[in-house]
């Protein structure tokens, strides 16, 4: 008992000296507690004999603790130092974890925001029933530039699972929170400043345990603490911050003291500059707790003939020489030695906006001059061309192209120079770009096409462009590219110069399409309704905003992947993937106030889908066979569009539906519809998804990451609606057969 008390008192004395940053003196014998300690190392249980004049950093805590047993195989190794560490000193050479055969483990080393808590995360899972030894070498250094007195060594042993009868493995005990460690354990701070506490939960094996930590302050008038452990000092006094989870707690003493300026620091101790340039110096002020403090700073220059400094730290250089700039407040100060030199030209930066010129064109060179400290200089620059028959250059750096070839333009001042190479060429027309590439006009409307010409270097070229129309009964074009729609149908407008061409497809439709409407009847109550099945795979992202259901006589077993939960009424079920209700014919009610109407409800819905399909397909079309089925890149006005049974509608690029909130679009598709990956059907001008109807006879495919707006209604037979990976549907999917989903958000429109 007496020896235990003596050890405690001895430990307390050592802690007071080390924690206070005071040197230890005297002879204290170090006793190793690990078999893996190398000569000169210090273990976590050691007491050492330090140099009487040296101050050392030390290790506050380790997780796992030294010589601990039954540690988990999936764990981090955490070390808390007595001060913030220099990050570049804590690495695989100074934080070493060794396992079997004394082999060092691979892993990542990171720190928390304080720079005091460092974590080694092993790349591979630790082995069971194995001793691991951790060495922190004297190569680690704190921001004070102090280091450990000797290598710090600790170890732990992982747990082992013993097999039971028949080769079975025993089940480990459940992990529970047994300890919270809160760092720092105490902190001095001045009013208005804040610091972050770090709370770590540990289980019964001393492994890190993720849990909710609650923070409280015993004196809110002195300091408060946020839910994340951020402490803000308010007024002078003491308060205890407690981190807790149930009965498991730890605390930190916060002492709020009056801030006293204790240091002023320039960002660097010296600098070089040339005469005529200015410099803004910046300093930081800190109180006795090394927290930032606002202080009035006075600046002086020791040699004002060399440089002066104003009250904000702005330095003006006058002559070459040296001066010391002092920043001070009372007796607290710091200095910055400024060396001022005569400026010497050391580099010229020369650029040309255009390095490939057409004969007869010009380009203005840009030159910048810099001294030995990379400050800009104002000097006279001379220019010359290595081949003046190709291009010449003026005294101001203006280059004029004269004939085909290359020349080097040099900018110089004395021996300092730089150059650029200018290529002069004769332009040849290689490409015409005619826009728009396609357009839809009503009969009698017109549009101005725009043709741009480019040479072999992709520079614009001024050439004469001619135009013609493939069908002048549909559309005519004049010599400037102005198109008039004269009939109904398609015409290809060609812009050309000799053999170089480009085209624009002009589709002319009737003057206007009569307004139409489509009634979705009871099927409009659903975001998704299918005649035979609705299937969802395991891909994350599926969320249906609206009710879903399957057809007459089809049971809920046809709705797969939704983890259905039957409502107590037995009228419907619910799903975590559905913001709404799920209906099928086997939800017959009969429980807790049930209506028992679900079988009739789904019968009516599948019947209504057939009615919608027939009715919408019967509307008179005002545009037929648009784009031969390829409508990507088009902008379509309201109306009824129709394609026959041999045409698949393709949307390979973004499509735009432009109209008002009351306008309606109906697309009568006699075969399939395919929306390419990452393509979006846009609604512009106020158009609404609820007023867009895609009436598809066979299969609809929305490929990965596409975005579709509108209601998709497929008829009986092979009318699958397939939403591929992450495709989005803002509308409804109403199919006579099935609907398949792969991680898709589907939102039923309102109204």
Task: Please report the pLDDT score of residue 164 as a whole number.
Answer: 42
For the chain, how many residues are written?
A: 751
Rg (CA), the chain: 40
Task: Please report the pLDDT score of residue 171 as a whole number.
Answer: 55
> What pLDDT, in 10s, does the model give residues 358-415?
999 999 999 999 999 999 999 999 999 999 999 999 999 999 999 999 999 999 999 9
Is the pLDDT at 512 greater than 90, yes or no?
no
Average pLDDT over residues 132-155: 92
Percentage, residues of the chain above pLDDT 70:
89
Backbone angle region of 69, left / alpha / beta, with phi > 0 → left and psi within -120 to 50 → alpha: beta
Could you give phi then psi for residue 438, rounded to 5 degrees? -155, 155
Q: Find out whether 166 and 193 touch, Cβ atoms under 8 Å.
A: no
For the whole prediction, is pTM greater than 0.75? no
Q: Exposed, middle or buried, 342 (CB in 10 Å: 0-12/13-18/19+)? A: exposed
Q: Find out whether 349 and 368 touch, Cβ atoms under 8 Å.
A: yes
Q: How confident is the model at residue 5 (pLDDT cuts 50, 70, 90)?
A: very low
Q: Rounded mean pLDDT of the chain?
A: 88
Helices (H), 481-627: 598-617
Task: Please report the pLDDT score of residue 691 as a whole number.
Answer: 97
Q: Distance (Å, rounded) from C-alpha 407 to C-alpha 395?
A: 17
Integer angstrom CA distances of residue 491 from 421, 502, 640, 648 = 48, 14, 21, 21
- Residue 411: CB atoms within 10 Å: 24
Task: Please report the pLDDT score of residue 488 as a whole number.
Answer: 76
Is the pLDDT at 546 greater than 90, yes or no?
yes
> What pLDDT, in 10s, does the model give residues 253-264?
999 999 999 999
Task: Please report the pLDDT score of residue 130 as a whole number.
Answer: 87
> What pLDDT, in 10s, does the model give residues 547-602?
999 988 899 999 999 999 999 999 999 999 999 999 999 998 877 666 778 899 99
Q: Which tokens is 76 given? A: 């981090």
Q: Exposed, middle or buried, 714 (CB in 10 Å: 0-12/13-18/19+)? A: buried
Task: Please report the pLDDT score of residue 473 as a whole number.
Answer: 82
Average pLDDT over residues 44-61: 64
Is the pLDDT at 169 greater than 50, yes or no?
no
Is the pLDDT at 165 greater than 50, yes or no?
no
> What pLDDT, in 10s, does the model give residues 325-356?
999 999 999 999 999 999 999 999 999 998 99
Ordered domains of the chain (ranges, CATH): 59-158 (2.60.40.1220), 177-256 (2.60.40.1080), 261-341 (2.60.40.1080), 345-425 (2.60.40.1080), 429-509 (2.60.40.1080), 515-750 (no CATH)
Say if strands 533-536 and 559-560 run parallel, antiparallel, or are unpaired. parallel
Q: How confident is the model at residue 298 (pLDDT cuts 50, 70, 90)?
A: very high
Q: Distance (Å, rounded) from C-alpha 642 to C-alpha 603?
A: 29
Q: How confident is the model at residue 100 (pLDDT cuts 50, 70, 90)?
A: confident
Question: Would you give the end-to-end CA distance of the chain in angstroms?
Answer: 83
Question: What stretch of H or E contains 347?
Answer: strand 345-351
Can you give the three-state secondary structure of 460-510, one letter per residue? ECCCCCEEEECCCCCEEECCCCEEEECCCEEEEEEEEECCEEEEEEEEEEC
């Amino acid at each position: 008992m007496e020896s235990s008390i003596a050890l405690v008192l001895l430990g307390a004395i050592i802690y007071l000296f080390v924690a206070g940053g005071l040197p230890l003196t005297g002879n204290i014998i170090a006793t190793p507690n690990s078999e893996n300690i190398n000569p000169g190392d210090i273990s976590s249980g050691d007491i050492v004999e330090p140099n009487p004049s040296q101050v050392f950093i030390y290790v506050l805590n380790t997780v796992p603790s030294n010589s601990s047993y039954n540690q988990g195989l999936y764990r981090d190794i955490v070390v808390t130092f007595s001060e913030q560490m220099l990050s570049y000193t804590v690495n695989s050479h100074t934080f070493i974890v060794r396992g079997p055969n004394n082999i060092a483990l691979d892993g990542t080393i990171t720190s928390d925001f304080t720079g005091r808590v460092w974590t080694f995360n092993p790349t591979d899972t630790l082995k069971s029933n194995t001793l691991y030894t951790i060495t922190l070498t004297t190569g680690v250094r704190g921001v004070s530039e102090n280091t450990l007195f000797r290598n710090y060594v600790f170890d732990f042993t992982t747990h082992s699972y013993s097999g039971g009868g028949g080769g079975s493995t025993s089940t480990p005990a459940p992990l529970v929170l047994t300890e919270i460690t809160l760092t720092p354990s105490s902190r001095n701070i001045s009013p208005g400043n804040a610091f972050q506490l770090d709370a770590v939960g540990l289980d019964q094996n001393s492994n890190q345990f993720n849990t909710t930590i609650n923070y409280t302050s015993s004196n809110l008038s002195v300091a408060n603490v946020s839910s994340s452990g951020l402490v803000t000092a308010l007024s002078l006094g003491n308060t205890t911050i407690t981190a807790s989870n149930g009965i498991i707690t730890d605390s930190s003493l916060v002492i709020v003291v009056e801030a006293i300026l204790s240091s002023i620091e320039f960002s660097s101790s010296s600098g070089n500059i040339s005469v005529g340039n200015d410099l803004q110096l910046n300093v930081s002020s800190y109180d006795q707790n090394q927290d930032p403090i606002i202080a009035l700073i006075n600046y002086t220059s020791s040699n004002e003939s060399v440089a002066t400094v104003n009250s904000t730290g702005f330095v003006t250089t006058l002559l070459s020489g040296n001066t010391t700039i002092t920043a001070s407040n009372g007796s607290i100060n710091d200095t910055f030695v400024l060396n001022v030199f005569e400026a010497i030209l050391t580099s010229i930066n020369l650029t040309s906006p255009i390095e490939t010129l057409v004969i007869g064109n010009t380009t203005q060179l840009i030159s910048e001059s810099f001294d030995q400290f990379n400050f800009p200089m104002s000097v006279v620059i001379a220019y010359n061309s290595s081949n003046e028959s190709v291009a010449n250059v003026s005294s101001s750096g203006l280059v004029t192209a004269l004939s085909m070839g290359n020349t080097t333009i040099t900018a110089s001042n004395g021996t300092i120079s730089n150059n650029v190479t200018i290529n002069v060429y004769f332009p040849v027309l290689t490409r015409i770009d005619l826009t728009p590439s396609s357009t839809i006009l009503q009969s009698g409307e017109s549009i101005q096409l725009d043709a741009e010409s480019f040479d072999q270097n992709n520079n614009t070229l001024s050439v004469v462009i001619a135009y013609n129309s493939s069908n002048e009964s549909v559309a005519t074009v004049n010599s400037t590219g102005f198109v008039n729609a004269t009939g109904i149908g398609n015409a290809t407008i060609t812009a050309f110069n000799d053999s170089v061409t480009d085209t624009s497809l002009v589709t002319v439709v009737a003057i206007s399409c009569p307004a139409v409407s489509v009634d979705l009847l009871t099927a409009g109550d659903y975001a998704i309704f299918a005649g035979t099945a609705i299937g969802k795979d395991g891909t994350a992202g599926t969320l249906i905003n609206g009710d879903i259901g399957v057809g007459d006589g089809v049971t809920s077993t046809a709705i797969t992947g939704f983890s259905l939960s039957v409502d107590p009424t037995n009228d419907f079920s619910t799903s975590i993937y559905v913001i709404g209700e799920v209906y099928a014919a086997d939800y017959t009610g009969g429980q807790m106030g049930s209506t028992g109407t679900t079988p009739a409800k789904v019968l009516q819905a599948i019947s209504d889908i057939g009615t919608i399909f027939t009715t919408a397909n019967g509307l008179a079309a005002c545009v037929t066979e648009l784009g031969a089925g390829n409508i990507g890149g088009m902008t379509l006005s309201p109306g009824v569009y129709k394609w026959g049974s041999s045409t698949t509608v393709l949307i390979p690029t973004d499509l735009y539906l432009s109209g008002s909130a009351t306008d309606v679009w109906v697309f009568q598709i006699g075969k399939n519809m395919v929306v390419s990956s990452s393509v979006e059907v846009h609604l512009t001008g106020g158009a609404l998804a609820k007023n867009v109807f895609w009436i598809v006879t066979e299969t609809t495919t929305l490929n990965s990451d596409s975005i579709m707006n509108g209601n998709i209604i497929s008829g009986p037979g092979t009318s699958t609606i397939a939403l591929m990976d992450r495709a989005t549907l803002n509308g409804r999917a109403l199919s006579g057969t099935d609907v398949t989903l792969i991680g898709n958000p589907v939102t039923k429109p309102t109204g």
